[in-house]
Amino acid sequence: MPPKSGFSRTRNVDYDDDAYDDDDYYEGEEEEGTTEDDKEQMRVGTTRVREALGEFEAGISDVQIQEALWHYYYDVAKSVSYLKNKLGGAQVPKETPKKEKIVSKFDQAAAVAGEKAPTSTGKYTHAQSSIVESAHPVTLSLPPRPMPTCAADDFFWDVPWGNVPNHRLSLITVDPPRYRGGLLGGSKLAALAAKRRKEREDAEAAAKAASSNDADAAIAMLDKLTVKSNGSAPGLRGGQTIDKPARRYPARKRTPSPQPEAAREAPEDEPVEPQPAIVIESPAQRATASTFASTLCGASSSSIPNIETLLPYANLKADDSLKAFEAPSPDDVVRAAQAKSAGGITPKKKKHINGDELAESVEKLAVAEEPRVRSKNLNVIAEFEKSKLKRMANFVVVGHVDHGKSTLMGRLLYDLKVVDQRSIDKLRKEAETIGKSSFALAWVMDETSEERSRGVTVDIATNYFETEETRFTILDAPGHKDFIPNMISGASQADFPVLVIDASTNSFESGLKGQTKEHILIARSMGMQYIIVAVNKMDTIAWSKSRFDEILKRMTAFLTEASFSEKRITFIPLAGLTGENVVKKVDHPAADWYTGETLLEALERIDLPQRNMEKALRLSVADVFRGDLRSPLSIAGRIDSGTLQVGDVILALPANETAVIKAIEVQDQPVDWAVAGQIPTLHLADIDPVHLRQGDIICPPKAAVKLVKAFSSKLLAFEHVLPCPVEVFRSTLNSPGSIRTLSAKLNKFTGEVVKRRPRIVRPGEVARVVVVLERELPIEEGMRVVMRERGRTIGAGLMENVA
Ligand SMILES: Nc1nc2c(ncn2[C@@H]2O[C@H](COP(=O)(O)OP(=O)(O)OP(=O)(O)O)[C@@H](O)[C@H]2O)c(=O)[nH]1
C-alpha cells in the first residue's frame, strides 16, 4: 500500500491486502509438487502393496500401484484390494481348475432327510409331520444339492438332535394373523378399559332402572348425542325452543371444557338449578381439561374444585406471599457449611433487591455523559484571513471508461513524489501477478480489491497534493456508465473537471458515444466553468499533431455547445503511462510541435470560483463514515458556502435532524474550523447514523434550506426536452419527478424570454420549466440540479424559486 498523501474516502470498503500474500503461498506449493514426505510414503507404500499382492504382483506396474496409493491416501489395504479387483482380474486371468464343490455336513444331512420326500423340482418339503395343526407349512426353497456320498444318519449319531424319532419331528408353522382385540399399551390398559366399560354399562343400567318414563330415557339418549353449550351462555332448558341452529362443532373458547365428574358437582353456595336442565354434554370422546389447563385458561375458581389439594403451590394466594427463595437453598446450606469448616467465613448473604433499588443502582452505573463540545465562538473568516492558507482547488477527473484517468493521477502523484518508488514497485509486482502490469499506476488511486481485479474504478477515490501556491484535492471518478451516480457525487465537490480523452484510434470516437459527453454535461450542470482536456495516450499515436488537432476541434465544438467559454478550455497532449507532459515536458522528437504547458502548470494556473464565506453554511455530504469509539459517526463533503467550527450545531436535511460538530479534519489534519471551498471531515455527536446519507445538505438550523416538492428552474437542454418524467439529482440526492410545464424559451446569454410556452426545447437551448418531485428535496435558489431521463442526462437546471 503506498503511503497516502491524504485520506481516501472509499466508503465501507474492506481492503484485501492479504490477497496477494495468499497467492504467493499457493504458487510456491504448486511449483514444488509433491513433498519429501509424500515421496517417502509412496516408496514404502509401493513395497508393501507389492508384498500384499502376492501372485497378482507380476502384472502390475509401479505407476499403477502409486496411482492407487495416491488415490487412497497411501492406504495399503485399499490399494491392494483395488488393484486385485480392477487390474489383477484383467491382467492376470489365471485359469483355476474348477474344484468339486465340497458338500457340507449339514447339506449332506439335509439331503438325506429330504430323500424321504424329494420333489421333482428339487424342493425339500417337510411334509411328514404328525402333529401339524396349521395349514401353513413352511416351504424352504433350496437349490438342488448333490446327493450325499455317505450316510448322514451315521455321521450325526452323536449329535443330540440327530436321532429324533420321526413322530417327534415337527414343522415350523406361521400362524395366520388373528385380531386379538387388545389395546395398544398392554394388558393393564386393556383391563382398565374393560373396567371402565363395565362401570359405564352398570351406570346406564341403573339410570334406565331409575327412569320412570320413556321421555327421560329419550332425554338421556339425547344427552349423549348433543353438544354441550358453554355453561355461562343462556342455558338451553327443557321445553325451550332453540332459536339459532346449533353449531356443528363446538366453538373454540379459552374457557375450560367440562370438568371431571367430581368437579362438576356444584359447590354448596352456588344456586341450584330449579329444574334438571337439558345439559348438552360434549361427546364421550372429548377429553376433560386437566386442572393445569383449567388454571391456565382462567376458569373461575368455582369450576375448579380442590385446586389447592391438586397443585402443590396452589395454596399460595398472592404474589406477596411467595417467599419461595427466601430460605437458603440446599446449595447455600452446603456452601455455608463448607465455609464454616474453612474458617468461619460465610459468603455474603445475597441481598434482596426490589425494583426501586435495582433502578437506583442502574442509574448509578450509567456512564457519565460526555462533556458537551464547546464552541470557541471564533470569527472563522478572520481566522481564515489570518492563517494565510494556500488556495484550495478540488478537481474531478472525468472521462470514458479506460481512457486512463487513474493512471494519469497515479503518474501525477508519483512524479510529485507523493507516492514513493517502493510503493510503485510493490504495486507493479502485484499487478504483474494478476496479469495487469499496465494498471500499476492506476492502483495508486484504485485501492479496492474489486477495482483492482476488474480494472475499473467503482467509487470516487480521493487523494491530494500541493504545489507552492495551491493545495489540490483529486476526486477520481469512475468512467463506467453504471457508476454515474458516484461520478455525480465526485463532481458535486469539485471546482473544475479534468477531462481525460484516449487519443488512440477509435477510442476517442467510442468515448464520444459513451460517457465523455455525459461527464462534460454533468460537470457543466454543476456550475463548473473551467475545464482542462487531457488528450491522453499520445504515445500510442506517435504524438500525431493531426490527430490532436482533430480531437481539439471536435471537442471545442461540443464544449462550447455545452456553454463552456472557449477561453476557459485548455487542451494538453500527454501520456499518463510514460509521464510525458504530466509534470515534466515531453521530450520526444515527434512532439516538437507542442510548446504549451504541462498538466501541472495548467492546474496551477486555473482560475477558481469565488468562495462564498459570508453566506449561510451549505455543505453537500459526499461520504458518511462509521469510525471508531472516539468518533463513531463522521461525514465528509465540500462546503459550498459559509463556514463552520467545532461545537457548531448543524442540521442534516432532508432528515431534519440536528448534530453537534465534535471535531474537524481538513486533509487529515485536525483543525478548529473550515471554510467554503474546503472538503472537511466532520466528526459528529448527538445524531443517529440513520439520519445521514450521501447527498444530504448540512446547514445551520436557523438558516435551513427548505424542502420543496415543486420548483421552477432555468434548464439548459442537452437533448430534446418535452414535458416528461425525469430523475432529478441534487448532488447524489435524487427523486423521481417530472417536467410539468415548459414555461418559456430564454435567450442563452441575456435570459430574456424568447418564446412563451414552447412545445419543445432543443439541445443547447435554455428554457424555464416547472418541475414536480415525488419526494421532497432540499433545494433553494441558485442550487444546481441534473435531470436524467431513462439513464441519459437531458439537461442541467438552475433552481429559480419554489413553484
Ligand atoms: N499506452 C498508454 N496506455 C495508457 C496510458 N494511460 C493509461 N493507459 C492504459 O489504459 C488502461 C486503463 O487505464 P486506467 O487508468 O485504469 O483507466 P481509467 O480511465 O481510470 O478507467 P476507469 O476509472 O475504470 O474508467 C490501462 O491499461 C493503462 O495502462 C497512456 O498514456 N499510454
700-759: per-residue pLDDT in tens? 999 999 999 999 999 989 889 999 999 998 887 889 999 999 999 998 778 889 999 999
Percentage of the residues of the chain whose pLDDT score is greater than 90 = 29
Closest to 642 in 3D by CA, of 687, 588, 593, 678: 678
Convert the pLDDT of each residue in 361-403 to its tens digit: 655 555 545 556 778 889 999 999 888 888 889 999 999 888 9
pLDDT at residue number 622? 86
Closest to 291 in 3D by CA, of 279, 283, 299: 299
- Count other Cβ atoms within 10 Å, centred on residue 468: 6
In angstroms, how far apart are the furthest CA atoms of the chain?
Answer: 134
Query: Rounded to an integer, what distance in angstroms lies between the CA atom of residue 201 and that of residue 608?
Result: 108
Choosing from 10, 402, 453 the residue with most ligand 1 atoms within 8 A of its CB, the one to mutate for a pocket test is: 402
Name the more confident of 230 and 81. Answer: 81
pLDDT at residue number 543? 95
Convert the pLDDT of each residue in 228-282 to its tens digit: 333 333 333 333 333 333 333 333 333 333 333 333 333 434 444 444 444 444 4
The yes-or-no verdict on residue 65 having pLDDT over 80 is yes
Whether ipTM > 0.95 holds is yes
Query: Rounded to an integer, what distance in angstroms lies between the CA atom of residue 180 and that of residue 194?
Result: 14
Q: How many Å lie between the centroid of ligand 1 and the Cα of residue 448?
A: 17
Which atom, in ligand 1's list, is nearest to the CA of 500?
19
Which atom, in ligand 1's list, is nearest to the CA of 399?
19
Most confident of 1-5, 164-168, 224-228, 343-347: 164-168
Q: Is the CB of 519 under 6 A from ligand 1?
A: no
Query: Rounded to an integer, what distance in angstroms lies between the CA atom of residue 716 and that of residue 560?
Result: 13
In this prediction, residue 34 has a pLDDT band, given cuts at 50, 70 and 90, of low
In this prediction, residue 192 has a pLDDT band, given cuts at 50, 70 and 90, of low
DSSP class of residue 98?
P
Name the residue at shortest CA distance from atom 24 of ligand 1: 456
Ranking 109-113, 205-209, 612-616 by mean pLDDT, the lowest is 109-113
Q: How many Å lie between the centroid of ligand 1 and the Cα of residue 533?
A: 15
Name the residue at shortest CA distance from atom 10 of ligand 1: 404
Instruction: Indicate the angle between helix axes 515-525 and 545-561, nearest 10 degrees.
Output: 40
Query: Rounded to an integer, what distance in angstroms lies between the CA atom of residue 421 and that of residue 427?
Result: 10
The yes-or-no verdict on residue 33 having pLDDT over 80 is no
pLDDT at residue number 401? 86
Q: How many Å lie between the centroid of ligand 1 and the Cα of residue 404?
A: 3
Q: Is the CB of 797 under 6 A from ligand 1?
A: no
Convert the pLDDT of each residue in 144-177 to its tens digit: 444 444 445 555 555 555 556 666 665 555 555 4
Choosing from 400, 407, 434 the residue with most ligand 1 atoms within 8 A of its CB, the one to mutate for a pocket test is: 407
- Count other Cβ atoms within 10 Å, centred on residue 498: 29
Proportion of the chain in helix, strand, coil states, percent, rounded to 5: 35, 20, 45
Q: How many Å lie between the centroid of ligand 1 and the Cα of residue 480?
A: 13
pLDDT at residue number 160? 55
Q: Is the CB of 407 under 6 A from ligand 1?
A: yes
Most confident of 107-121, 184-198, 331-345, 603-617: 603-617
Convert the pLDDT of each residue in 754-783 to its tens digit: 999 999 999 888 999 999 999 999 999 988
pLDDT at residue number 280? 42
Which atom, in ligand 1's list, is nearest to the CA of 540?
1
Q: Is the CB of 784 under 6 A from ligand 1?
A: no
Which atom, in ligand 1's list, is nearest to the CA of 410?
15
The yes-or-no verdict on residue 539 having pLDDT over 90 is yes
Q: How many Å lie between the centroid of ligand 1 and the Cα of residue 539?
A: 12
Which atom, in ligand 1's list, is nearest to the CA of 575?
31
Convert the pLDDT of each residue in 5-26 to its tens digit: 333 333 433 323 333 333 333 3
Contact in structure between 664 and 618 (CB atoms under 8 Å): no
Contact in structure between 523 and 398 (CB atoms under 8 Å): yes
Distance of CA 112 to the CA centre of its chain: 77
Q: Is the CB of 577 under 6 A from ligand 1?
A: yes
Ranking 213-222, 373-382, 517-526, 598-607 by mean pLDDT, the lowest is 213-222
- The Cα angle at residue 708 between residues 735 and 778, in degrees rounded to 5: 70
Q: How many Å lie between the centroid of ligand 1 and the Cα of residue 536?
A: 9
- pTM for the whole thing? 0.54
Q: Is the CB of 479 under 6 A from ligand 1?
A: yes
Give one DSSP letter per residue of 562-604, joined into a string.
TT--GGGEEEEE-BTTTTBTTTBPP--GGGTT--S--HHHHHH
Query: Rounded to an integer, what distance in angstroms lies between the CA atom of residue 474 and that of residue 472?
Result: 6
Which atom, in ligand 1's list, is nearest to the CA of 438?
29
CA dihedral 30, 32, 36, 37 (to 10 degrees): -10
Terminal Cα-to-Cα distance of the chain (whole angstroms)? 51
pLDDT at residue number 125? 35
Choosing from 428, 434, 438 the residue with most ligand 1 atoms within 8 A of its CB, the one to mutate for a pocket test is: 438
Cell of 214: 320413556
CA–CA distances in Å: residue 539 to residues 552, 573, 587, 615: 17, 10, 12, 47
In this prediction, residue 36 has a pLDDT band, given cuts at 50, 70 and 90, of confident
Q: How many Å lie between the centroid of ligand 1 and the Cα of residue 2?
A: 19
Q: Number of helices and strands (H, E) in the chain? A: 23, 22
Choosing from 401, 505, 577, 582 the residue with most ligand 1 atoms within 8 A of its CB, the one to mutate for a pocket test is: 577
Contact in structure between 59 and 87 (CB atoms under 8 Å): yes
Which atom, in ligand 1's list, is nearest to the CA of 536?
31
Q: Can you say whether residue 435 is alpha, beta or left, with left for phi > 0 and alpha for psi between -120 and 50 degrees?
A: left
pLDDT at residue number 57? 74
Cis before residue 654, ω within 30 degrees of 0? yes
Name the residue at shortest CA distance from atom 2 of ligand 1: 537
**Mean pLDDT over the full length of the chain:** 72
pLDDT at residue number 446? 73
Q: How many Å lie between the centroid of ligand 1 and the Cα of residue 18?
A: 25
Q: Is the CB of 126 under 6 A from ligand 1?
A: no
